[in-house]
Amino acid sequence: MRKKIISVAAPNLGREELNNVIKAVKSSWISSRGEYINKFEKEFARYLGVRYATTVSSGTTGLHLALLALKIKKGNEVIIPDLTYVATANAVKYVGAQPVMVDVEPDYWCIDPTAILKAISKRTKAIIPVHLYGNVAAMTEILKIAKKYHLYVVEDAAEAHGAEYKGKKAGSFGDVGVFSFFGNKIMTTGEGGMVVTNNKKIYERVSFLKNQAQSPNNKYWHPEIGFNYRMTNLQAAVGCAQLGKINSLINKKRKIFQWYKKYLSGLKDITLNQERKNTKSVYWMTSLVLGRNIRKKIPRDALMKLLKKDGIETRPFFYPISKMPMYRKERHYPNFIAYNLSQNGLNLPSGTNLTEKDVKFVCQTLKKHLL
Ligand SMILES: Cc1ncc(COP(=O)(O)O)c(C=O)c1O
């Protein structure tokens, strides 16, 4: 076993984060009010090119509030990709609606617009495209479908901070966009999230609901049941520092992908992330899908075990949502592409602290097992 473990996605934290947290502690504003909260929201909105951004306690709670603000409820269906993190589906269930799981594109691993079209019913109210592993979903086609069928679009941009499509940032296309700042994300606040929108009503509704539905003009008057889904000023202090270096974090992610591409060249029957035309992927996770021949030699799970022995941490792709016990009975399709990717895909170490030497070692080890 190697002494140094190469982890899959360690956060990149430095002096700026520490200084901001110290300032926040010294100010005594450690809960959900304080200068960093306002600063983080303003700067994130500016960075994304949207009118409004409001901090939340996680990406999951952000998705929940986004669906509540759009009045998605029991009796409604929401179309989601089968290949995503479970939070996308859970948020739909939290509001009493039904997720409908459809297949993803073979090349880009994001929700397939033709599969959306087939799944639309009288009960469909919204689509949640997920910008998986830092790529951007086919937003032109998705927005066209949404317009034609009068559906809302909630972008799950939890994994795609700063990704661009036709020069516009992921999360800024739909009615609402939701980000996660979990520790393994491109930028982090420990736990945390952001809801972004250009619609003032949605912004006000999310801000109201996350704050126990307290009347903005009447303290301790709560006309509805709300939630405590607020972010703390301490978290926002970290967030401001992270946002300050977002461009270098993204450049490093893209560089890591290029290193993998270089050092894995020559390895046949594998696929790495592919970038859609007119897209700037942020390669949150450089990922590898094993082809039919190579996995006869070594299946994905066996490969992951061998890598672990060599001190290399990897992650399997997500299980299809429609495979989970609580979602098996929900409407879904035989999503062959999602199922195949789920079984044969793995996320390689992609943290922005990685060096070229680390990536070279991972690639040499992969070649040792795969060639
Ligand atoms: C696609 C996707 N959606 C939603 C979430 C939920 O975010 P969080 O973990 O901050 O609740 C995540 C992150 O883990 C995610 O990857």
Which residues, 6 or more positions from 122, have their beta carbon under 8 angstroms from its beta carbon?
none
Q: What is the pLDDT of residue 3?
A: 67
In short, whether 208's Cβ falls inside 6 Å of ligand 1 is: no
In short, whether 180's Cβ falls inside 6 Å of ligand 1 is: yes
- Segment 263-279 shows an average pLDDT of 96
Whether the per-residue pLDDT at 1 is higher than 60: the answer is no
The answer to whether the beta carbons of residues 215 and 265 sit under 8 Å apart is: no
157 CA → ligand 1 middle, Å: 9
Whether the per-residue pLDDT at 219 is higher than 60: the answer is yes
Which residues, 6 or more positions from 326, have their beta carbon under 8 angstroms from its beta carbon?
93
Tell me the per-residue pLDDT of 115-147, one tens digit each, with 9 for 90 and over.
Answer: 999 999 999 999 999 999 999 999 999 999 999
- C-beta neighbour count of 236 within 10 angstroms: 29
Tell me the per-residue pLDDT of 155-199, one tens digit each, with 9 for 90 and over.
Answer: 999 999 999 999 999 999 999 999 999 999 999 999 999 999 999
To test ligand 1's pocket by mutation, which of 84, 94, 104, 159 has the most ligand atoms within 8 angstroms of CB?
Answer: 159
Tell me the per-residue pLDDT of 28-75, one tens digit each, with 9 for 90 and over.
Answer: 999 999 999 999 999 999 999 999 999 999 999 999 999 999 999 999
Q: Which of the four pLDDT bands, split at 50, 70 and 90, describes residue 218?
A: very high
In angstroms, rounded to a whole number, what is the distance separating the alpha carbons of residues 322 and 310? 33
Q: What is the pLDDT of residue 339?
A: 98
Q: What is the pLDDT of residue 2?
A: 58
Q: What is the pLDDT of residue 4?
A: 83
Tell me the per-residue pLDDT of 67-86, one tens digit each, with 9 for 90 and over.
Answer: 999 999 999 999 999 999 99
**CB burial readout 36-58, b (16+ within 10 A) else e:** bbebbbebbbebbebebbbbbbb
Tell me the per-residue pLDDT of 3-27, one tens digit each, with 9 for 90 and over.
Answer: 689 999 999 999 999 999 999 999 9
Per 3-state DSSP, the chain is made up of helix, strand and coil in percentages (nearest 5) of: 40, 15, 40
Position in ligand 1 atom list of the atom nearest CA 193? 10
In short, whether 85's Cβ falls inside 6 Å of ligand 1 is: yes
Inter-axis angle of helices 246-264 and 233-244, nearest 10: 60
84 CA → ligand 1 middle, Å: 9
pTM: predicted TM-score of the whole model, two decimal places: 0.98
184 CA → ligand 1 middle, Å: 10
